Chains A and B, each alone.
Chain A
Amino acid sequence: MIALAIAQQTVREALRRRVMWIFLICGLFLISLGPVFGFLSPRDSQTVLRSLGLAAILLAGLFITIVTCIYLIPVEIERRTIYTVLSKPVQRYQFVLGKFLGGFATVFVNIALMGIVFLFMIWIQEHKVPTEMFQGVIMTFFQMMLLAALTIFFSTFATPVVNFFLSFGIFLVGNLSTVTESLTTNRNGVVRIVGNVVHYLLPNFGNFNIQNSIIHPTTEIANQNVYVAQNVIYAVVYSAVLLILAILIFDRREV
């Protein structure tokens, strides 16, 4: 209940941030460019629309998630609104949870909006909405949920600027899972250890990008549904762990 009240308040504040709307509009603009590019290359029009759309959702979602979640807690401390909130019967874990839920809901609304527009474009062009396209949007959404949890985790101890580079950097490295995986079998011991740590400890963002298999049907994953489910569970569990850590850190933090 309390966490929900905080979440609702958080969404309200987040939706007021102009920078979020700019990224949303950019995302929607890119998605709507799909048919234009498709028209320019009629042979691959389906691939162009699909890949451009998913990439736009990912890119806009990435920036929206980071710029939204990076400030949720620091701004409360900086503006000292946290004093009045935490002096009410609000436990610190409820505060962190509320902030996460609020950030998460904001990201959800944005991705849902872009997703609907994207799927609508596909429907116009293909007269159907393939399951994989829907799954692509869902996967991006859970990837962003994980990123939101990561960003909120960092925001309990890092400044927004440091947080930006940390979250962004880990998102990039986590997307290079094929590269980091190859490091785990490197002949150099040090590289192998670092590779293992990076590959298994950092969130594996790369697994959420099923665009490749969707866009190029030749690289089909054995069972798409199982694969999606696995990654959704991965995102939920990993996010939960990050939130627990965030709460443990925030519990000891002076405001």
Chain B
Amino acid sequence: MAAAISIQGLTKKYVGLQRDEVVAVNNLNLDVQEGEIFGFLGRNGAGKTTTIKMLLGLVFPTAGDATLLGKPMGDSSVKQELAYLPEETYFYDSMSGWDILDFYGRLFKIPEPERSRRVKICLEKVRLQPEAWKRNIRGYSKGMRQRVGIAQALINDPKLLFLDEPTSGLDPIAHSELREIVASLKDEGKTVFLSSHQLADVELICSRVAIIHRGKLLTTGTIKDLTAGGRIEIVAEGTQLVNGTLAKLQAIIPDTHEEANHIVRLITEDNNRISAAIDAIRAASGNIISIVPIKKSLEDVFVETVRKEEGL
């Protein structure tokens, strides 16, 4: 598959008020394939928004280059195929949700009656209640605004979407609805570049992620690869296990704990110790209840990766 986004050595230095330099994005190299939902992760201030703004030509890179849908960044013809949801959605508050979408539709030169049709489709898709369509946006709740924000991103039926925190600050129902909408974009063959702190969402809907820290790419890969590896958990049961053998087991696998009802739980990352532990359990006439690999959550991966980089 072709690359929807290809970033080479993208760098952005901001000069602060005290003439101090902030390297917001530092020599970033990244490829996003067509048709994937790509999670772009990083702590506050990691440089996610800055990266997106550079790709969209809102700020200019200090160094580096990128292509979007095969065209050089900044090529205005490619904007026809793009969509952007800024991290906090702001609108002209004299307008209704309908008017705002109509306005953005005009910026794409979508003629009537096609434009009204698109506006309707988009508002329906984000499930904004129809009573609110023609109401002034000042009276919208945060969730309703966010829906309009996503709707405006869909007005041109884009190929590539940049969504910066699309699900922050929403109630659980709205949250899962909007997450499903984003997930459904993949089925329509669209590419989504998703910046988010909601790692559970990312784990659910993204195929690949990148983690950046202080502007630098720390890791990138499929969620499957990143969360794999992990640890093995052994659960065993037996009276003798708890009494005499516990210390012995702990010598083999340090993370060994006694639980209620003569149950012992052992967790290790070292596959070589598993056989020894099993032998020891058997020798003490213990029953093995389960041996399961524990998958890491994306959050574990994120915390681990970032902590390691920070040297904590």
Residues of A within 8 A of B (CB): 1-2, 5-6, 9, 12-13, 16, 79-81, 83-91, 252, 254-255
Contacts and interface: CB of A to CB of B under 8 A. Distances in A.
A5 B99 CA distance: 12
Given A9-B92, A13-B92, A83-B86, A88 B109 contact: no
Nearest to A9: B103
Nearest to B82: A87
Name which of B53, B59, B77, B90 has the most chain A CB atoms within 10 A of its CB.
B90
B277 to A, nearest CB: 56
A214 B57 CA distance: 52
A104 B207 CA distance: 50
Given A16-B94, A80-B90, A81-B92, A89 B80 contact: yes
A89 B58 contact: no
**9 closest cross-chain pairs (CB), A and B:** A87-B84, A5-B106, A88-B107, A89-B79, A254-B59, A83-B86, A80-B90, A87-B56, A79-B90
B60 interface: yes
Nearest to A88: B107
Contacts of B104: 84, 88
A113 B73 CA distance: 46
B94 A12 contact: yes
Contacts of B91: 81
Contacts of B95: 12
19 contacts: A13-B94, A16-B94, A81-B92, A83-B53, A83-B90, A84-B104, A85-B107, A86-B57, A87-B57, A87-B79, A87-B82, A87-B84, A88-B79, A88-B156, A89-B80, A90-B79, A91-B76, A252-B60, A255-B58
B107 A5 contact: yes
A87 B58 contact: yes
Interface residues of B, number: 29
Nearest to B49: A83
Contacts of A90: 79, 107
A255 B59 contact: yes
B279 interface: no
Contacts of A80: 86, 88, 90
A81 B90 contact: yes
A238 to B, nearest CB: 29
Nearest to A80: B90
Interface in B59-94: 59-60, 76-77, 79-80, 82-84, 86, 88, 90-92, 94
A96 to B, nearest CB: 15
Contacts of A84: 84, 86, 90, 104, 152
A99 B82 CA distance: 23
A157 B138 CA distance: 29
Interface in B103-117: 103-104, 106-109
Contacts of A252: 60
Contacts of A91: 76
A84 B80 CA distance: 13
A93 to B, nearest CB: 11
Contacts of A254: 58-60
B92 A2 contact: no
Contacts of A87: 56-58, 79, 82-84, 162
Contacts of A16: 94
Contacts of B56: 83, 86-87
A90 B59 CA distance: 15
A6 B88 CA distance: 22
A83 B58 contact: yes
Nearest to B149: A84
Contacts of A85: 107
A9 B106 CA distance: 11
A86 B58 contact: yes
A44 to B, nearest CB: 45
A246 to B, nearest CB: 18
Interface string B123-163: 00000000000000000000000000000100010000010
Nearest to B83: A87
Contacts of B103: 5, 9
Nearest to A91: B76
A3 to B, nearest CB: 10
Contacts of B76: 89, 91
A5 B100 CA distance: 12
Nearest to B89: A84
Nearest to B91: A81
Nearest to B152: A84
A169 B60 CA distance: 33
B138 to A, nearest CB: 11
A89 B107 CA distance: 7
Given A80-B86, A83-B58, A84-B86, A89 B108 contact: yes
Contacts of A79: 90
